[in-house]
Amino acid sequence: MISIENCKTNNIKNIQNFIKLNYKKNHILTTNLKLFNWLYKDKNSKYNFLILKKNKKIYSVLGFIPSSKFDKQNKNKFIWLAFLCGKKKKPLLGAGITILNYLHKKFLNNNFAVNSIGKKIIPLYKAFGYKVIELKQYYITNPNKAQNLIKGKIKKVKKYKTVKNLKFELINEKILKLLKLKNNYTPTKSSKYFINKYIKNPFFNYKIGLITYKKIYKILIVLRIENYNKSKILRIVDISGDYKYLKYCYQIFLKLLENESAEFLDFIQYGINHKTLEKCNFKLNRYSKPIIPIYFNPYVNRNVKIYSAFKTNNQKIIIVKADGDQDIPH
């Protein structure tokens, strides 16, 4: 008899043991209960984590993050699939399909996406009608810092346009609460979303910046610093607003790099027009040379492609590095 149920507090140890045996012994979800709760705890003792059992034995688990996780009033019905794992030894045939099918039926009329998936699992998402895409890594180097992390020749900076009255400032929670964020793309993200996911994040320190034109809000960006040895980079992990103004932001980003004494700024995303970013002097990592590191914990000294997938009513979608469960400790 196959059954699927939501994880409750008394199931967590069983799930952690299942992950140890079937995925990775020291996976962060098995060692950090605080992170598990922060990502998946819903109401009371209920978790957004499904358990598929047959004859009381676990055969598959699936963690997911609804858009309402960081903003209870968010009307954009969007589900991020986050952690899918099946039994290695003596698996149950079709367990992954069954648990995914259950989730899709449970949240009818929702949009779905998954950020960062392995090549082996791509056919599974395609079978459910997901569009599989590749996140692109764009970067801007600091001309006044030695490049210790980027390995290879860096292209020269092209001519760029500047716009008067385009300003940047770091903002706090008080200012963010007053902002009415506008975005025609999915998933929509409110001020509450940015406050709860980033300002109140218990694991990382984020900086939230506002780009304005003639004192009117245009773009909100979320930044995080990554370190390796004595080197530092600056990363745009999330964004919202009128993206056409990005093409005028090169000087703003250069100043940020100088202020943080960072070697480069990167932005890993899907959905924002390549030409817009190119006009801002963002260079696209084409995965040959140079090598632009993405992973810092642990550090990986090679180019890495990140695949994601989505199934939405609105094809105007933007996916960024921190979507889903991706910007977490490891």
- How high is the pLDDT of residue 219? 96
Q: pLDDT tens digit string along 284-325?
A: 998 888 999 999 988 999 999 999 999 998 778 999 999 999
Q: Are 302 and 106 in contact (CB under 8 A)?
A: no
Spans of the chain, pLDDT less than 50: none
CA distance 269 to 137: 7
pLDDT at position 261: 97
Rounded to the nearest integer, the mean pLDDT of the chain is: 94
Q: How is residue 75 annotated by DSSP?
A: -
Q: What are phi and psi for residue 224, nearest 5 degrees?
A: -140, 145
| SS3 (DSSP) at 279 | helix
Q: Hey, which CATH number is domain 2-109, 3.40.50.880, 3.40.630.30, 3.40.50.720, 3.40.50.300?
A: 3.40.630.30
What pLDDT was estimated at residue 124? 95
pLDDT value of residue 214: 93
Q: Where are the beta strands (DSSP E) in the chain?
A: 2-8, 46-54, 57-66, 78-86, 111-117, 131-141, 166-171, 207-213, 216-228, 231-241, 264-270, 283-284, 306-311, 319-320
pLDDT digits (tens, 9 = 90+) for 167-197: 999 999 999 999 988 878 899 999 999 999 9
The predicted pLDDT at position 75 comes to 75
Question: pTM of the entire structure?
Answer: 0.95
φ, ψ at 244 (rounded to 5°) = -65, -20
CA 61 to chain CA centroid, Å, is 21
User: Domain 134-320 maps to which CATH number in 3.40.630.30, 3.90.1150.200, 1.10.10.60, 3.40.50.720?
Assistant: 3.40.630.30
Domain with CATH 3.40.630.30 in the chain: 2-109, 134-320
